[in-house]
């Protein structure tokens, strides 16, 4: 009985980790798209030129 429970627990942990990794890939893709849109659609400053694309 204990080995079956350990296998089921391991399967549950691996399924959870796989779901989390898949979710992180989707979040990374959304962040990349938002960053690229911000890079491409940034506004101009008072002089009419585009400013720096980074914030630091």
Question: Per residue of the chain (56 residues), what is the pLDDT tens digit?
Answer: 788 888 888 888 888 888 788 888 899 999 989 888 877 777 666 666 666 656 55
CA 53 remoteness from chain centre? 20
pLDDT of residue 30: 92
3-class secondary structure, 13: helix
What is the SS3 string spanning 17-36? HHHHHHHHHHHHHHHHHHHH
φ and ψ of 49, to 5 deg = -105, 160
Report yes or no: 14 and 8 within 8 Å, Cβ to Cβ: no
């Amino acid at each position: 009985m204990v080995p079956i429970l350990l296998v089921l627990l391991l399967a549950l942990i691996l399924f959870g980790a796989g779901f989390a990794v898949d979710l992180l890939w989707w979040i990374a893709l959304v962040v990349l798209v938002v960053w690229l849109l911000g890079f491409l659609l940034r506004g101009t400053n008072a002089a009419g030129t585009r400013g720096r694309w980074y914030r630091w």
